[in-house]
Structure 1
Amino acid sequence: MSSRHPSSTAERRHQVLDPCTLGRPFHLLEDFNQRLGRQLDRHLAGRFNHRHGAGFVINHVAIGSYVAGQGDASWRTYITPAGTLSVRLERRLLLAMLGYHYGDKGAMKIDENSPEIETERRFGAATGLALLDVLRTCVMPSMDVGFVPEPLRMPAMSDRIIRIEMEERHLGIAGLLEIAVDDAWLGLIFAAAAPRRATATPVAKNETPLAERLPIRLSARMLTKEWLLDDVMRLAPGDVLPVRMPDTAEVMVGDTCLFHAAVAEHGGTLCLTSFENAE
């Protein structure tokens, strides 16, 4: 007589629970992760894709535990009134952004073994701050915070890590953007992710459409002029730069060019007319 035994313990697969997640509403963070991913996508599109023809996209956002290891030297930590944040971007992605920023997209080569130069350090610091500010807009959209650098500080083992999977499709590279948040910032994220209770205030009928209430700031870029760095460094008060008034101007919303418009003069005032959608 034979009997069947259940699978051995080694064959069973159990989900390992992170004790740091117990009793906390991590199940609410999926919508927040998706919102953060969309905001980062918009930021990358405006700063790199639309302006330089790059192909940066966000593939996945998740929150997990901090694991010390390789890449720790690339963390940049900042103190804010709300708590401590750290950010690191894998070097292949940073070098791709640096190349697009300086117009090397034609024959760009990503060499992660090349020595780091001061330009890369400054660009990496500025890029990290810009990405942290995207997180800030998702958590506290109406409040600005100051980011004070802490060069020698690493993420704590108790920090949670927001891991953002990114890729640059034209170069065929992928990597991680990681943001470490302390317990104070994690509490703010939970508050931002919590569902809002419906208010009892009735919605007014015939309310003005959103498009007629939403203010948009337009900026006109009249001209650009290329100079050698040495010539720029020699500029002094009283110098005159000869320029020619252009026939058209770029009309921008933030860093994105939406229209091309003709430059005209009316009553001694420069005006923009004949708006055409930018391709």
Structure 2
Amino acid sequence: MTTIKPTAQHQVLDPCLLGRPVHLLHIFAAQLRDDLAQAMRLNMSRRYWGGFQVDDVVFGRLEGGEQIGRWLSFAAPSGNIGFSLERKVLLSVLNFRYGRNKNDSKVEGNSAAAAVDESAVRVTATEERLAVVLGQQLAGTLAGRIELNLPAIDKAAPAEGDEFKPAAGAHPPKGTWIVTVTVSDVDSGATGRFWFSLDKALMASVLRGLMPARELNKKGGKNQGPLAQRLQVGLHGRLVSKEVPLGSLFDLRVGDIIPVSLHRADVLLDDSRLFTAAVTEHKGKLCLTSFEDVE
């Protein structure tokens, strides 16, 4: 009797990611977590977030079956950031910010309150405006971290006007890079999530910011032209040489003239004679032209 063993699962490699520091994304995630936590503690942001804290930040890719709620899109300096916030988190922030519950009655204290029954609360214009405000704050923090990590030569020029102007966004397609941020309210213990989606340009910037310096130098060299065009050497021009007897050299006096004829000059690299060149005058300077290889 033959026993059939289950086939081992294997990871399918994405050729677009080969040679790119995807294994270092956890470093960016840790940096972004600290940035978001700091941004939510600022006085301006605490009016919204209250006792919320950032628990985790994780990179992943959409597999196609996920159904995340309403998406907004924000234009960053070097790409577009999608943003979606769980409605239960948005309602908790709404309660903390405006001090109202689902029945529009006052909530005691300034806590973000316990979880709200989303189905019992209709969507209001205030809720939609708040989602835009929070999206602008958080997307700006993400864009700032991406720009901060980039080498100086790759930093995007500041955009004119409001670079985080919101727009309605569609659900990202399969394969899109997603940053999932988990938050919790210290007082109530309620947890929730919000998401960023990164387009190809922004994801390329994230990975480039994580690339080791030696790799950046190596890749930067690809755009500098052939080695023969970048390698600089020092050439010396010998305009004239003349052999004279040693006795004649000792007989020279001040004012004596050594007759020479100026023909083609020798061009040397160190002590090696590579070319001959014609000597011409241009704007009061002697120049070498009409180079010929030395046979």
Q: Provide TM-score, normalisation by structure 1.
A: 0.59
Is 1:79 matched with 2:97?
Answer: no
Equivalent residue number for residue 177 of structure 1: 194
Tell me, in whole angstroms, the C-alpha distance in 2 between the residues paired with 1:120 and 1:53. Answer: 14
Equivalent residue number for residue 181 of structure 2: 164
User: Match of 1:161, SS?
Assistant: strand
Deviations 1:101-150 (A, max 9, x none): 22443583422211111111000111011100010110114865512433
User: Match of 1:9, SS?
Assistant: coil
Q: Relative to 1, partners in 2 of residues 1:40 and 1:81: Cα closer, same or farther, differing over 3 Å? A: closer
**2:113 pairs with 108, 117, 120, which one?**
108
Shift of 1:17: 3.8
Tell me, in whole angstroms, the C-alpha distance in 2 between the residues paired with 1:167 and 1:93. Answer: 9
Tell me, in whole angstroms, the C-alpha distance in 2 between the residues paired with 1:165 and 1:107. Answer: 16
Percent of aligned pairs with the same residue? 24
Tell me, in whole angstroms, the C-alpha distance in 2 between the residues paired with 1:62 and 1:107. Answer: 25
**1:9 pairs with 3, 6, 10, which one?**
6
Query: Do the aligned partners of 1:48 and 1:56 also contact (CA within 8 Å) in 2?
Result: no
**AA aligned opposite 2:6:** T
Tell me, in whole angstroms, the C-alpha distance in 1 between the residues paired with 2:174 and 2:48. Answer: 38
Equivalent residue number for residue 236 of structure 1: none
User: Match of 1:64, SS?
Assistant: strand
**AA aligned opposite 1:112:** E
Larger radius of gyration: 2
Q: Relative to 1, partners in 2 of residues 1:30 and 1:9: Cα closer, same or farther, differing over 3 Å? A: same
Equivalent residue number for residue 131 of structure 2: 124
Equivalent residue number for residue 146 of structure 2: 139
Moved more, 15-24 or 152-161: 15-24
Deviations 1:192-245 (A, max 9, x none): 222446xxxxxxxxxxxxxxxxxxxxxxxxxxxxxxxxxxxxxxxxxxxxxxxx
Alignment of 1:1-279 (within 5 A): 8-9=5-6, 14=9, 16-17=11-12, 19=14, 22-23=17-18, 24-47=20-43, 54-68=50-64, 71-103=67-99, 104=107, 105-106=110-111, 108-109=113-114, 110-113=116-119, 114-141=121-148, 144-145=158-159, 146-196=163-213
**AA aligned opposite 2:113:** M
Q: How many corresponding residue pairs?
A: 192
Gaps of 5+ in 1: 198-279
**AA aligned opposite 1:97:** V
Gaps of 5+ in 2: 100-106, 149-154, 215-295
Q: Relative to 1, partners in 2 of residues 1:89 and 1:32: Cα closer, same or farther, differing over 3 Å? A: same
Shift of 1:88: 0.6
Shift of 1:182: 0.6
User: Match of 2:42, SS?
Assistant: helix
Tell me, in whole angstroms, the C-alpha distance in 2 between the residues paired with 1:33 and 1:107. Answer: 26
Equivalent residue number for residue 248 of structure 2: none
Tell me, in whole angstroms, the C-alpha distance in 2 between the residues paired with 1:171 and 1:15. Answer: 42
Deviations 1:141-187 (A, max 9, x none): 48655124332533233421011122112122112211000110001
Shift of 1:31: 1.1
**AA aligned opposite 2:88:** R
